[in-house]
Amino acid sequence: MTEKDFIPKSYPAAVEQGEVTWQSPSNIALVKYWGKLEHQIPANPSISFTLDSCRTTTKLKFQKKQKPTADFDFRLLFEGEEKDAFRPKILKFMQRVEPYLPFLKDYEFTIETSNSFPHSSGIASSASGMSALALCLMSLERQLDPEMDEEYFTRKSSFLARLGSGSACRSIEGELVVWGMHNNIYRSSDLYGVPFRDEVHDNFRNYRDTILLVDKGEKQVSSTLGHDLMNDHPYAETRFRQAHDNLDKLKKIFRSGDLSEFIKVVESEALTLHAMMMTSQPYFLLMKPNTLAIINKIFRFREETGLHLCFTLDAGANVHLLFPEKEAQETQEFIEAELKQFCQNGQYINDRVGSGAKKMA
Ligand code: DP6
């Protein structure tokens, strides 16, 4: 599908008012998206596990205006309270998606949103939040166009979510989602995420992700600024090629179930992401002493037990611990005994791979 396919021609139905609720999960990238071109086109393909319990719930209420106006009209409630700080991001989103959802100025909206994970935990809520909002708007569009098929609904939801926040396009479906053109991934696209349809070994079923909250503060580097650092970055081209190669490697690994190889790719991706930030101008050091302490503990744990716990990082100090279900008990004991001490207030979140967003009754 191309961008043009997402521009509707006309809507057969009329909708006066209503409401719809979606719950959409966060996701954790294994091959990282870092660097983008205009219009939220990724500089390289990425792949992520969709998560299960880290979710945003968004209710969208809509009421048709008597007459369309020149403005977007919306109220924004976050966890029950008016949240002005989030308005600019939503406004920008509406401006970006308007060509594809030409009804936006015809309605007054109330967006009520809340997260399952603790407020300001340093967990990116843009992926779950933007995907949930995109899905709500698509539900309204489906009422305006009742013949819309499921495939179009899903692809366009991901397409719109991407315009809100790149990684959000990987949160619509599960369990592994690829975003960005890759020669060896069937139907991969720069415009939206697609489920990874190749064979996946049972070792990766129900894979765990325990998120250690090392630093719950505000993000030091906004993702927009972060991605910009890859323009004119001395290692950019090599890095983008490497992401393609790592996806090829993961494709083989998912088939074979080779967990040792999985660890090599995933940890290298995380460290490369941080290496890119450390070697850009300006440069950023987003790991904290506790991030490093945790990583060293993980290395030692693997050496001593032969188990397959590994880490990945986003653009911050928190650590995502990835491990197979069959090693969950021993790993969980290790987290409680050895890693919890490095978390702010001892806080961590146990999550696992999930199947994607859900519409609520
Ligand atoms: C480090 O999706 O937050 O988490 O498109 O500017 O909203 P924008 O960026 P965003 O970037 C996420 C980057 C990452 C890696 C990843 O999730 O692939």
Give residue-wise pLDDT tens across range 94-133.
999 999 999 999 999 999 999 998 766 667 689 999 999 9
Please state which of the ranges 66-75, 122-131, 278-287 shows the lowest mean pLDDT. 122-131
Is 167's C-beta closer than 6 angstroms to any atom of ligand 1?
yes
Cα(203) to ligand 1 centroid in Å equals 27
Ligand 1 atom closest to 46 (CA): 18
Nearest CA to ligand 1 atom 14: 314
Ligand 1 mutation target, pool 33, 46, 222, 277, most atoms within 8 A of CB? 33
| Amino acid sitting at position 126 | S
Nearest CA to ligand 1 atom 7: 165
| Amino acid sitting at position 326 | K
Is 182's C-beta closer than 6 angstroms to any atom of ligand 1?
no
Cβ contacts of 199 within 8 Å, gap of 6 or more: 254, 255
pLDDT, one tens digit per residue, over 6-44 is: 999 999 999 999 999 999 999 999 999 999 999 999 999
This prediction has a pTM of: 0.97
Cα(314) to ligand 1 centroid in Å equals 8
| Amino acid sitting at position 249 | K
pLDDT, one tens digit per residue, over 326-348 is: 999 999 999 999 999 999 999 99
pLDDT-based confidence at residue 57 (cuts at 50, 70, 90): very high
Beta-carbon-side half-sphere exposure of residue 307 (alpha carbons within 13 Å)? 23
Ligand 1 atom closest to 31 (CA): 18
pLDDT, one tens digit per residue, over 205-247 is: 999 999 999 987 767 788 889 999 999 999 999 999 999 999 9
Whole-number pLDDT of residue 119: 67
Q: Looking at the predicted structure, is the pLDDT value of residue 261 above 80?
A: yes
Query: How far does the chain reach from its first CA to its final CA, in angstroms?
Result: 30
Mean of all residue pLDDT scores within the chain: 96
Q: Looking at the predicted structure, is the pLDDT value of residue 142 above 70?
A: yes
Burial 156-180, CB ≥16 within 10 A → b, else e = bbbbbbbbbbbbbbbbbbbbbbbbb
Ligand 1 mutation target, pool 125, 219, 223, most atoms within 8 A of CB? 223
Nearest CA to ligand 1 atom 5: 166
| Amino acid sitting at position 132 | A
